[in-house]
Amino acid sequence: MILWQDQLPAQEPRAPLPGDTDADVCVVGAGYTGLWTALHLRRLDPTLRVVVVERDVAGAGASGRNGGWCSALFPTSWHRIARDAGREGVVAMQRALEDSVDEIGRSGIACDYAKGGSVALVRTPAQLARARADVAEARSWGFGPDTLDLVGAEQAQQRVAATRVLGALTTDHCAALHPAKLVRGLAAACVDAGVTLHEQTTAGEVRAGRVVTDHGTVTAEVVLTATEGYTAQLRGHRRDLAPVYSLMLATAPLPADLWQQIGLADRATFTDERHLTVYGQRTADGRLAFGGRGAPYHYASRVHPSYEQVPRVHDALEHTLLDLFPAVTGVPVTHRWGGNLGVPRDWYPSVGFDRTTGVAWAGGYVGDGVATANLAGRTLAHLITGVDSELVRLPWVRRRTKRWEPEPLRWIGVNAVTQLMSRADRVEARTGRPSRSAALFWRSLGH
């Protein structure tokens, strides 16, 4: 059961595509990327006929079930960006991501938005060494404490009173929000702006000039694939993005005395500096929503609802939450769920539009897609309508990443990385020294 969707009224699907039709732009996928793009296209040019097709309902995928982090995080390192775009490109990309956090806050969509920043707890000597290096790197690029700072144990504990805290990395550029409220509000804004949204319409084939669905074909001058973790299910796209599952749980609302012990008064999102990612937030109704990686990648990039429940991983997440906050022991876990996210071969998201073919794309956010999808949507709207702006010159624009290896190499590789990160965390906890194997992995990607 997904917390965010359980808190909202049942969603009545909009009408499917009634048959063959024409459009100026056809968007495949009614998640954040597709909907932000559609909305901004109509705002830039209200004469455009924009059709969005969605196989389920808007936000049924990652956009309606994620951890609710609206952050300026980007999975690619500043050094990797600089190889293509130099120092100016690094700064421009980071500032655009930070502005996207605020852009969602300015959108007027009611989604429990609270810009309390983010706190990444440092809980081992190895994590502390990495945190110091990260802040030194941020300063070398000219980024100040608002982008990244390292605070001591006492200051960290004042914000998040977790166990064994040695310090914390902090950033101002993050907001907690309710992801399903955001995507539902965004879908409504699109329809109000004149976008035609067809749900319960499955796209099987997407190519230049047309989208073939189970309810008819949309012929369009521009076709945008905005399917993120479901991209592999489109014909001919199985190796574009690897769908990797992230799982979550949520507690019952905590009493006030527990929140006084834990903190998070400003609803800062929280994590720690382990390699196998975990993430959490204090929800607007006073729950702890907590998630992390560790679920297996499934052979041939398969996606299925049964993969959203992995008891051993959910149990491990609950154990981790109690390790962070022992005071929560005994508080019921009311919801357990999961969903997939899109991972490109080089961990580098991209957005682009080929004017000669009319094909547009965006995605590969590796789990950092709430604010990044907003940036993608605004960028795509500029690219498609020909607006010359700073957005269309950002380093991630028009990139094409290498495709994933065929099976069984993809299955072996993706699952091996998950095991490597888990093992690296155990080694660091035991030795206090940074993991060489984890560092080698990131260097192998050019990070």
Residue 374: its H or E element? helix 370-385
Mean predicted confidence (pLDDT) in 367-382:
98
| DSSP per residue, 386-409 | T---SGGGSTTBT--PPPPPPTTH
In this structure, the number of other CB atoms found within 10 A of the CB of residue 326 comes to 11
At 269 the three-state DSSP class reads strand
Is the per-residue pLDDT at 256 higher than 80? yes
Task: Note the pLDDT tens digit of each residue in 77-118.
Answer: 999 999 999 999 999 999 999 999 999 999 999 999 999 999
Task: Note the pLDDT tens digit of each residue in 269-282.
Answer: 999 999 999 999 99
Task: Note the pLDDT tens digit of each residue in 241-254.
Answer: 999 999 999 999 99
Could you give the domains of the chain? Answer: 12-66+179-241+346-393 (3.50.50.60), 118-172+242-343+407-444 (3.30.9.10)
CB 339 within 8 A of CB 183: no
In this structure, the number of other CB atoms found within 10 A of the CB of residue 126 comes to 24
Distance CA 262, CA 162 (A): 7
| DSSP per residue, 285-341 | TS-EEEEE--PPPPGGG---GGGG--HHHHHHHHHHHHHH-GGGTTPPEEEEEEEEE
Mean predicted confidence (pLDDT) in 309-337:
97
Is the per-residue pLDDT at 430 higher than 70? yes
CA dihedral 99, 100, 102, 104 (to 10 degrees): 160
- How confident is residue 26, by pLDDT bands cut at 50, 70 and 90? very high
Task: Note the pLDDT tens digit of each residue in 258-270.
Answer: 999 999 999 999 9
Is the per-residue pLDDT at 447 higher than 70? no
Query: Which residue type sits at 179?
Result: P
